[in-house]
Structure 1
Amino acid sequence: MTTPGTSKYPPGQTALIAKIPEAEPLVGHWRSQLDSVASDGVPAHVTILYPFLDHDRLDDTVIGQLGTLIGAHPAFHVRFQRCGRFPGVLYLAPSPDQPFRALTDAVAERWPEAPPYEGQFTEITPHLTVAHQQESQLLDRVEAELADTLPMAAHVHEIHLLVSDGSRWREDRTFALRGHI
């Protein structure tokens, strides 16, 4: 969820995320320094869909449909056992990642006008970003330190809709997944 070259987003832009509060003790320190969205108000998370529909399009019908769609997916446990990389990015890889993929696919299928990451990538890789737009040597050091803290387990039971005000993200609402684990 980062716009190249800036940490600011258009007012009204939205995102759907799965918060991973269990990760904060492990990655919060690194994210606060190395991932600009952390200082913009975004907690440790796995993105479900970014960007989603602009906030002014989120009427009662869309919110109801989104709640029904998300509520059809079961809550789940996930483990983060290893780090992964994209160019300039260090992340924690969720296992299993299929529940995140299923949620992304379902939302993107229902709202094809909001493809993940604006359609920039052909394959979506669920991940929890630790560092973004950083040099490889720094990512190597952070990854080595994180390796000693893994694995980490989490429970995903809701999806959060975040809205940008142009400089910070705030939570707009939460959608429950089906059932409890």
Structure 2
Amino acid sequence: MGVLAEATETALIVPVPAAEAVVGPYRAILDDSAPLGVPAHVTVLSPFLPPERVTEQVLGDLRACLTAVPSFGCVFARVAWFGTQVVWLAPEPDAPFRALTGSVWHRFPECPPYGGAYPDAIPHLTVGTAHRAEPAAMRRAAVEVRARLPIRALVDRVRLIAGTGAPGSWGTVAEFALPSA
């Protein structure tokens, strides 16, 4: 668990490699997490436990609760916005993503999605945020990405990642395969 040694935070994500060709160039410029080394993804739970609390027992508990959701296919066919602050892709269906979040949160109730900041943790794949980009750049990205949809993806794993605020610092701690459907 070498990546944990220097990490200041952890998160659980569903990597979406099928989306990289479409959103990767935009995320590199518009999304806070891309320069840190975080791939295109849908967040399962962030923040997760502090790095020093991630033990073999925690990894076993994660493995056990993630087996509650079988692998599934999804389609990203719609660009959406959280106000004017975040442009994102909507996964359809989103219920399996919600089930993953619910399963982990049930086992680790001290880790509410997004620190409890939002009443409903909407599954999404971030393309860009106002923290990093001007509104015009985000609107342009939304139009250009929309023209390249849909993106079809197989969701068959969840990753525990860890890192700091430094560029390129995030990496995989563990990967959990979802059971076959």
Instruction: Tell me the TM-score normalized by structure 1.
Output: 0.90
Structure 1 segments, 4+ long, off by >3 Å, are none
Tell me if structure 2 keeps the 8 A contact 1:77–1:154: yes
Matching residue of 2:47: 51
For residue 36 of structure 1, give the secondary structure of its aligned residue in structure 2: coil
For residue 48 of structure 1, give the secondary structure of its aligned residue in structure 2: strand
Match among 105, 110, 117 for residue 108 of structure 1: 105
Q: Percent identity?
A: 42
Matching residue of 1:6: none
Question: RMSD of the alignment, in Å?
Answer: 1.4
Matching residue of 2:118: 121
- 1:34-56 deviations in whole A, cap 9, x for unaligned? 11210100000000000011121
Question: Structure 1 residue 18: deviation in Å?
Answer: 0.2
For residue 33 of structure 2, give the secondary structure of its aligned residue in structure 1: helix
For residue 154 of structure 1, give the secondary structure of its aligned residue in structure 2: strand
> Which amino acid in 2 is paired with 1:142?
A
Question: Structure 1 residue 166: deviation in Å?
Answer: 4.6
Q: Which range moves more in the overlay, 60-69 or 165-174? A: 165-174
Question: Structure 1 residue 140: deviation in Å?
Answer: 1.9
Q: Which range moves more in the overlay, 37-46 or 52-61? A: 52-61
Matching residue of 1:156: 155
Match among 60, 65, 84 for residue 64 of structure 1: 60
Question: Structure 1 residue 72: deviation in Å?
Answer: 2.3
Matching residue of 1:7: none
1:17 aligned to 2:13? yes
Matching residue of 1:174: 175
In 2, the alpha carbon distance for the partners of 1:99 and 1:72 equals: 10
Question: Structure 1 residue 12: deviation in Å?
Answer: 3.1
Residue ranges of structure 1 left out of the alignment (5+ in a row): 1-9
> Which amino acid in 2 is paired with 1:58?
V
In 2, the alpha carbon distance for the partners of 1:163 and 1:138 equals: 29
In 1, the alpha carbon distance for the partners of 2:74 and 2:7 equals: 32
Question: Structure 1 residue 142: deviation in Å?
Answer: 1.3
Tell me if structure 2 keeps the 8 A contact 1:88–1:135: no
In 1, the alpha carbon distance for the partners of 2:101 and 2:69 equals: 11
In 1, the alpha carbon distance for the partners of 2:116 and 2:11 equals: 15
Matching residue of 1:91: 88
Matching residue of 2:74: 78
In 1, the alpha carbon distance for the partners of 2:164 and 2:81 equals: 30
Tell me if structure 2 keeps the 8 A contact 1:47–1:126: yes
For residue 173 of structure 2, give the secondary structure of its aligned residue in structure 1: strand
